[in-house]
A and B are shown apart, each in its own frame.
Chain A
Amino acid sequence: MNAFQLYRRYIGASLRAQMQYPGSFLMMAAGEFIVTFTEFFGVWALFRRFGQIRGWTFAEIALFYGTINVSFAIADAISRGFDVFGPQFVKTGNFDRLLVRPRATILQLLGYELRLTRIGRLAQGVIVLAIATHLLGIGWDARKLALLAAAVAGGIALFVGILILQATLAFWTIESLEIANTLTYGGVEAAQYPLDIYSRWFRDFLIFVVPIGCVGYFPIVRILGHRAPIPAPGWILDATPLCGIIFLLIALRVWRLGVRHYTSTGT
């Protein structure tokens, strides 16, 4: 069985398990949808009062908002195994069982659960993208679609990378730390607005350290044909989503370092 078949097997089992509690699933998916929707409603209220933010309109913000939420919804759905890694695998010693199996630990953790409830956030992100398209009258030609796809793909890679780093930290701290939420949920919150509204230090952090700006801000500025935020040639801005992939590759290297360091808790 190759890795892909095995992953499908894992996911099939996970989906069947989640569907054992259809009521709970529906409530949680609806909750996800409503929580992201109310946040968007809050953004709308602020725009109603202020009109615009540093020259950006509500419709443009909707495009930033929708893209980053779609990326995060998918990344969060597939990375559940990393999210709960500390309490579920390190603290309990269950990680030992993963290590003795002749398969990559990353694959087994990706297969831990495909969190279906994230479909609520995903649906909301797609709806917001549709609203933005309608309000802005964006003609989605091949170039723009490719930019959006690259932004989403880069975004998924980046968020999965962050969650892998969070899990790696658990090798040392045992517990999962809430602090990683600053980069996942906090990153989503920050990337819902264009980076140029933020202070310099924060903007630089979101471009050069955790490149959330590269998987949202730059490609969307290119889709909108807005003024270039930095004096760089267009093809460089188009290529920025690759930073998400690079971040993921680095996270995987750090993960391997963590696995080598791992000593079982013995429980």
Chain B
Amino acid sequence: MTSIRPYLTVFRMRFVLMLQYRAAAIAGFGTQCWWGFIKVMVFAAFFRSSSAHQPMNFAEAVTYVWLGQAFLALLPWLSDPDIAQMVASGNVAYERLRPLDTYFFWYARAMAWMIARALPRALMMFAFACVVVPLFGMGDWRLRLPATPEAAVLFVGAIAVTVMLSSAMVMFLNLGCVITLSERGVNSLVVPFVLILSGNIVPLPFFPNWMQPLLFAQPFAGLVDIPYRIYFGGLTGWIAFAGIAQMLAWTLVLGFAGRRALSAVMNHLQVQGG
């Protein structure tokens, strides 16, 4: 890697391009508000049904739900559609001709794609769940602010690592797409595991206690569970730092393994189309 400039350029181009899709962002936002309400109402009903001690209280569970809706685009949902199209058309062969590191080049694109989709949605969702929801008299159902200023700072750091981690996972989906020449099968097999193991379906602390150490250590926890628990003060002090360190470690491991695998695959690249 001689210079970082080409990678920054592709990042900026993709970012600006993706910000153009305003209609998609607004439609997605509407969907996520609706979805958030369903989840919040289910939690409200559960919490009213039992007085047993829970791993998080109702306000924290609601915050977890809204953060999940705000940062939904940070999950590795699918391989980069542009890469999938390159593979389908055979244009992926051109990537071999660039005097660049393909892994970092694609990684920068994936990251820009992710941030540009997440940013407007997250801003709208914060405005909605923090401000609009209480205005409609649903104060119990609002998104709370971070527990403490320290939690806020740690959360920003954690979410930044989430973006890096999730981009490394998208790179694995890209890799699967290049190997199988189709993005559909790989995506549909990986996503269910992402959803359940990240905490997107149910916050991880609600799973049985004996699973907790395993759930905390696995790579998908860094996509949702660790940053959100840092946000509402569920993880503090050394445990919060351990969580962020875990995320960084997985990012490095996945990035290193992904880069090696991609260069192996690209050396024996099968190209279709003409």
Nearest CB in chain A: distance from B120 CB, A: 14
Q: Does B264 contact A (CB under 8 A)?
A: no
User: Residues of A contacting B185 with CB < 8 Å?
Assistant: 23-24, 27-28, 31
Contact of A52 among B41, B47, B50 (CB under 8 A): B50
Question: Across the interface, do B31 and A38 meet the contact criterion of CB distance under 8 Å?
Answer: no
* Stretch in contact with the other chain, from B8-16, B92-100, B123-131, B199-207: B199-207
Q: Does A127 contact B (CB under 8 A)?
A: no
A31 and B195 CA atoms in complex are apart in Å by 12
Asked whether A35 and B195 contact (CB < 8 A) given A27-B185, A53-B46, the answer is: yes
Task: State the total of A-B contacts with C-beta under 8 angstroms.
Answer: 109
Q: Does A51 contact B (CB under 8 A)?
A: yes
User: Residues of A contacting B30 with CB < 8 Å?
Assistant: 179, 182
Question: Across the interface, do B46 and A35 meet the contact criterion of CB distance under 8 Å?
Answer: no
Question: Across the interface, do B50 and A45 meet the contact criterion of CB distance under 8 Å?
Answer: no
CB contacts under 8 Å to A, within B32-68, are: 34-35, 37-38, 41-42, 45-50, 52, 54-55
Q: Per-residue 0/1 for A26-48: is the Cβ within 8 Å of any B Cβ (1 yes, 0 no)?
A: 01101110110111011101101
Q: Does A140 contact B (CB under 8 A)?
A: no
User: Residues of A contacting B48 with CB < 8 Å?
Assistant: 54
A189 and B23 CA atoms in complex are apart in Å by 24
Q: How many chain A residues have a CB neighbour from B under 8 Å? A: 41
User: Residues of A contacting B27 with CB < 8 Å?
Assistant: 177-179
User: Residues of A contacting B42 with CB < 8 Å?
Assistant: 53, 193, 197
Q: Per-residue 0/1 for B154-193: is the Cβ within 8 Å of any A Cβ (1 yes, 0 no)?
A: 0000000000000000000000000010101111110111
Contact of B49 among A31, A55, A181, A202 (CB under 8 A): A55
A263 and B186 CA atoms in complex are apart in Å by 38
Interface SS majority for chain A: helix
CB contacts under 8 Å to A, within B185-237, are: 185-189, 191-193, 195-196, 201-202, 206-208
Question: Across the interface, do A198 and B41 meet the contact criterion of CB distance under 8 Å?
Answer: yes
> Smallest CB-CB separation from B40: which chain A residue?
A199
Q: Does A50 contact B (CB under 8 A)?
A: yes
> Smallest CB-CB separation from A181: which chain B residue?
B31
User: Residues of A contacting B208 with CB < 8 Å?
Assistant: 45, 48
> Smallest CB-CB separation from B23: which chain A residue?
A175
Q: Per-residue 0/1 for A180-207: is the Cβ within 8 Å of any B Cβ (1 yes, 0 no)?
A: 0110001001100100011100100000
> Smallest CB-CB separation from A35: which chain B residue?
B192
Question: Across the interface, do B45 and A197 meet the contact criterion of CB distance under 8 Å?
Answer: yes
Question: Across the interface, do A51 and B34 meet the contact criterion of CB distance under 8 Å?
Answer: no
Which of B30, B35, B186, B188 has its CB near the most chain A CB atoms (within 10 A)?
A: B188
Nearest CB in chain B: distance from A180 CB, A: 9
Nearest CB in chain B: distance from A140 CB, A: 28
28 A/B residue pairs, CB under 8 Å, sorted by A? A21-B182, A30-B189, A31-B185, A31-B189, A31-B191, A34-B192, A35-B192, A41-B196, A42-B201, A46-B46, A46-B202, A50-B46, A50-B47, A50-B52, A51-B49, A51-B50, A53-B42, A54-B49, A178-B27, A178-B31, A182-B35, A186-B31, A186-B34, A186-B38, A197-B45, A198-B41, A199-B41, A202-B37
Contacts A45-B206, A52-B50 given; 6 further ones with Cβ under 8 A? A21-B182, A35-B192, A38-B196, A52-B49, A189-B38, A190-B38
Name the 10 nearest CB pairs between A and B, nearest first.
Answer: A31-B188, A27-B185, A197-B45, A42-B202, A38-B196, A35-B192, A42-B201, A34-B192, A50-B50, A182-B34
